[in-house]
Structure 1
Amino acid sequence: MKASTNNNNPITLEGEPLEETESFTYLASTINKNGGTQEDVKARIQKARVAFIMLRKLWRAKQIKITTKLRISYSNVKAVLL
C-alpha cells in the first residue's frame, strides 16, 4: 500500500509487482490508503463496546465493590479502547 502519494509506479519485489491494498491491520491498528484514522477509531469503539457487554454479569453483581468493578473495567474495556 502506498499512502498519500502521487507516484503510480508499482512496487516490485524480485521483478514481480506486489498487490496493492486499500487498508490493512498492523499491531491492532487499521491503516488505510488515505492515512485517516476514522475506521480504526470506529473499530476500537466497537471492540470496547463488546468488552463492556461481556462484563454484564459483573456490573449486576451486588457482592462486588464498585472500586473492584472499576479496576476490572479499566483493565478490560479501557485497554481495548486505547
Structure 2
Amino acid sequence: MIINKKDNLAAVKIDNKEIEEVEAFHYLGSTINNKGTPDSAITHNIEKAKSTVIKMRPILICKELSLGTKIKLVDSSIIPILTYGLESIVLRKQDWTRLETVLNTIWRMILGTNDRKQLDVQQLKLKVNLPNLANKIMQTDQAYHIRRIKDQIT
C-alpha cells in the first residue's frame, strides 16, 4: 500500500514479483487505507457498536434495570467497541461528531425518548452524567503507555 495524496503508479517488486497494491486492509482489528484517513476504521467501529446495541436492546430498554446499571453496561461493552483502535488515530471534528452521535442515540434509547427536541444533547449529558468520549479514548491511550513503560523498566 502506498499512502499518498497523488496517484502513485510505481510498482513495488520483490524477487521480480510485483506486489499487489490495495486501497485498504485490516491489521490487528483496524482498517488502514491508502488515503491516510480513519474513515473506514470509524465506520467499522460504528457498525460493530450498532450491532451490539441491537443485540443488547432488550436489556437496555428494560424498565426493571436502573439507569446506573444500563450506563455501566454501555460503558463496559459498547464504548470499548466504538473506540477500539482509535487511540492511535488523529480524529477530526467530524469523526468526533459521528462517534458522539452514535452514543447520544444509545443514551436516548436507554432514557426512552427519541425526540431530540424533548431532550437535547446538553440535557442528555446532564441526565446520563458521563465523561465525554475524547477523555475516555485519551485515558485508554495513557493507560497503554504507562503499562508499556512499566514493562520496559522491569
TM-score, with length taken from structure 1: 0.81
Runs of 4+ displaced beyond 6 Å = none
| Structure 1 letter corresponding to 2:71 | L
| Residue 2, structure 1, aligned to residue 2, structure 2 | yes
Between Structure 1 and Structure 2, the one with more strand by share is: 1
Aligned CA-pair RMSD: 1.9
Distance 1:5 1:16 in 2: 26
Distance 1:36 1:47 in 2: 19
| Structure 2 letter corresponding to 1:50 | S
Distance 1:11 1:60 in 2: 53
Following superposition, the deviation at residue 64 of structure 1 comes to 2.2
Following superposition, the deviation at residue 5 of structure 1 comes to 6.8
Secondary structure in 2 matching 1:25: strand
For each residue in 1:14-35, what CA deviation from the matched residue of structure 2 results, as whole angstroms up to 9, or x when unmatched? 3211111111111222111111
Distance 1:38 1:5 in 2: 15
TM-score, with length taken from structure 2: 0.47
Q: Structure 1: which 5+ runs fail to align? A: none
Following superposition, the deviation at residue 9 of structure 1 comes to 2.8
Q: Structure 2: which 5+ runs fail to align? A: 84-154
